[in-house]
Structure 1
């Protein structure tokens, strides 16, 4: 199932360079392009795809409530807009990620040279300066040509300095998980939580430590803070905690199991304190994958406008998939990886806590019968490390750099390559038709009855989606062959 709409959260897009405008007196004045809503921010768009297993209770809960958790977390962490003008009050986050005062009137005037530097000139492919790769900033792909497509993850933007309040919220949530489940969560270290809360550190906290290790002393202008990545991680873990704890106080559908102790499935806690209104009337032991996308623009122009830049953030759990289509090359660019035991990062994370994997009859590794090592729900597997800690990636989109965005369940990505999915979308006239075409094709060629869900989102390069690379012809021969094979009446015979 999918969801699409807007959410009431502060903008997280990077501010654009100042533009020069001619004043009435004939001089040049520097002004930022203003935001166009009552709150001063352009709207933030929210897209998501959820794939439930063992039932739909958890997926239904995420579809109806996850965006509310995100909105509430933004308020709790006191996130400020990344587009706000610099204030005279110290401690306001700037677009560069440092804390400073309002610049003087002389300093705020943009010169002609600054304006020229802000212009991005066209460069042929291959002329971009090379830079060393950073750990954890790449996403593996399973493209049709067998090659791995890679994309950089942009650094976070600091939007809040309420670090002490954030640490209090983070510590409380980590403690709740430790008391409710134990096991894996006794040594749980969320990636974007501060070290004081038992995590791996806020991104800016990591930057401070890196500078200390490199230069000895921390520069005075570098201070700790946090961005939307920390808030998304908190929202995911909080939503999962509320759902799992709600199931503890419910009666099991099986009357024999219902007579067993509450902690029979390694879930501890106090049933009387749980919210039984979450989910159905009976205890739900299944779960759901989740992939959401937030898109924020620095100007009132919508993100699908060809001249509009934007910032995109993905938060992903499980094996649902998010893809971009590069306008210039026509290539599929994956933003997520499948959280399966076969993923080296996941295997390393879980084996650290003595988790064991088994191989099924199809040669796929599983953990306690689950293919996903990260998921919402799945209360019986929480103690072994099946958590809802999201994989988060931030991408800065230049105007018309990408043609469209695709979110799909494993009923699509498990049977079609990334490039096949993208090429099918290129042939459609509208995003709605494209989503139907992808789902219909996957349903035709696959042999099982897994859920197939697709959501296509138009981006700035939509009108040029067939210009890059081979257009939609790169996988056309393969798709035609697969369709003809699916129509063969002898298909599936041994």
Structure 2
């Protein structure tokens, strides 16, 4: 029975809170087609999120391949026995057959769990001295169209001497998705405050909001010919085919809901990447194209609105509600058949969470960690979690995000008209109405004065082996260690997983606050050359040794 049918049978009246509570039960998963008999419903494709990536490996690496070339290579002339060269020389028919057999040999699709692929990704989190760990993180493959720039044709088509294109080898590449695009990788770190409700919600559902926004507007791949590529020296976004009118309607509805429900700062709210006000143009190149940045901003603000509305609908001070069992709202008291999904716990959650998301898309099936493969990095950031890139050439730490604190000139000018007070605490940190972050998910009591989940968006086109790795850390680490110290610690590690563990261990060892610490390390194309740039990891080695000795000095506790 579909959700729409269930609503007709039960006769239950759905409130606005139910409609906005979660994207999981929205009726858009099912569409009633009048062309079908008896009003049958057809299910739309539901986006999938996997915590593993898929790749091709030759069968010979898993088990002996009995269907090898008919003629052994050692009996061929040397000029004809090197089948992997770009230009195959003129050779006998037997050599051509052997070459084709090697190119077309059977490959096996392998699923590799991302969280246990320590040579590609590492994530470590620690509670510190806090009563609970409110940090969460997520890593996987997100089901959205590719947003990378198309590579030049000269780089994608390899030809023989006679001009014929070479067959595409199926080895050393990632598997394509159901849509035919290369896999898009998703990494996120979320630092909760006041509890884990909001950070856990973002970990479990934020990627679904991004996927569903792409499905709603019928977003197409940037790798197809209909996508518009900006000039190489331009900062304009990559425009992909999509339903601009549908996205404009969604943006209008979202902004109106913020203004009507929250008010305050949001009465004159205009997200910077929303462009629904320009829909009057009849130019098809504008009406049929959208950017992934606009989709991300809509998904972030939509997730925040759903979380705020869910908390506002709860009655934590209602004694009758408090006496009801936690699963009273479930059908037959079974968690798998809930009538209205809950966001957060049973009581109203007044805290919030930061959120930093990194998505990596490649123009070809070559994975983003391959030394010869370019890729596009899209960063969406809210709060004071931090992302760093390590330059392969110089070895320097390149900050990708900025801290959304009251001390930031951009944030201060945005909020001084709404904030009740700007104060400086005993540690010298400026706060707004007691909050350290001016942008965050949740924090329902501070929304009217301007605390919002408007993401800081940045797109970086990464050339082959231009960067060695990407680091994502919570403020428990970035507030203790310098950016270059974090990068240098990862340089000395053998794997990304070890690098994440070393960063968390060192931060926990030298910290004076004991905050939750989370570190994610993502391998990029220049990983093998991470120690070659500049002075390697020696730039901060002496200072790190001094900090470790000072932290372990028994006389430190006396001061």
Contact 2:350 2:444 in 1 (8 A): yes
* Counterpart residue number, 1:413: 478
2:241 aligned counterpart, secondary structure: coil
**Superposed displacement of residue 490, structure 1:** 2.2
* Counterpart residue number, 2:189: 49
Tell me which of 202, 213, 229 is aligned to 1:95.
229
Deviations 1:342-396 (A, max 9, x none): 0111011112445531111112111111100000000000000000010000000
- Judged with a 3 Å threshold, the aligned counterparts in structure 2 of structure 1 residues 238 and 186 are, in CA distance, closer, same or farther, namely same
Contact 2:420 2:433 in 1 (8 A): no
* Counterpart residue number, 1:156: 237
2:187 aligned counterpart, secondary structure: strand
**Superposed displacement of residue 399, structure 1:** 0.4
Q: How many residues align?
A: 399
Pairwise CA RMSD: 2.7
1:393 aligned counterpart, secondary structure: strand
* Counterpart residue number, 1:5: 140
2:538 aligned counterpart, secondary structure: coil
- Judged with a 3 Å threshold, the aligned counterparts in structure 2 of structure 1 residues 163 and 290 are, in CA distance, closer, same or farther, namely same
Deviations 1:6-65 (A, max 9, x none): 0000000000001254379x3466999998443110000000001000000000000001
- Judged with a 3 Å threshold, the aligned counterparts in structure 2 of structure 1 residues 333 and 32 are, in CA distance, closer, same or farther, namely farther
In structure 1, distance between residues paired with 2:517 and 2:318? 30
In structure 1, distance between residues paired with 2:169 and 2:248? 35
Tell me which of 392, 407, 424 is aligned to 1:359.
424
**Superposed displacement of residue 155, structure 1:** 3.2
* Counterpart residue number, 2:159: 22
In structure 1, distance between residues paired with 2:550 and 2:371? 39
* Counterpart residue number, 2:374: 309
Tell me which of 297, 313, 338 is aligned to 1:233.
297
Contact 2:491 2:530 in 1 (8 A): yes
Deviations 1:255-281 (A, max 9, x none): 7xx9xxxxxxxxxxxxxxx96611001
Within 5 Å, give how 1:360-375 maps onto structure 2.
360-375=425-440
* Counterpart residue number, 2:106: none
* Counterpart residue number, 2:515: 450
- Judged with a 3 Å threshold, the aligned counterparts in structure 2 of structure 1 residues 223 and 250 are, in CA distance, closer, same or farther, namely closer
Is 1:223 aligned with 2:223?
Answer: no
Contact 2:149 2:376 in 1 (8 A): yes
- Judged with a 3 Å threshold, the aligned counterparts in structure 2 of structure 1 residues 253 and 365 are, in CA distance, closer, same or farther, namely farther
1:454 aligned counterpart, secondary structure: strand
* Counterpart residue number, 1:267: none
1:68 aligned counterpart, secondary structure: helix
In structure 2, distance between residues paired with 1:279 and 1:373? 22
Is 1:244 aligned with 2:379?
Answer: no
Is 1:290 aligned with 2:424?
Answer: no
Tell me which of 175, 178, 185 is aligned to 1:38.
178
Contact 1:36 1:299 in 2 (8 A): no
Gaps of 5+ in 2: 1-135, 323-338
2:359 aligned counterpart, secondary structure: strand
**Superposed displacement of residue 291, structure 1:** 0.3
In structure 2, distance between residues paired with 1:165 and 1:195? 10
TM-score by length of 1: 0.76
- Judged with a 3 Å threshold, the aligned counterparts in structure 2 of structure 1 residues 276 and 179 are, in CA distance, closer, same or farther, namely farther
Contact 1:18 1:30 in 2 (8 A): no
In structure 2, distance between residues paired with 1:229 and 1:171? 17
TM-score by length of 2: 0.67
Q: Computing the radius of gyration over CA atoms, which structure comes out larger, 1 or 2? A: 2
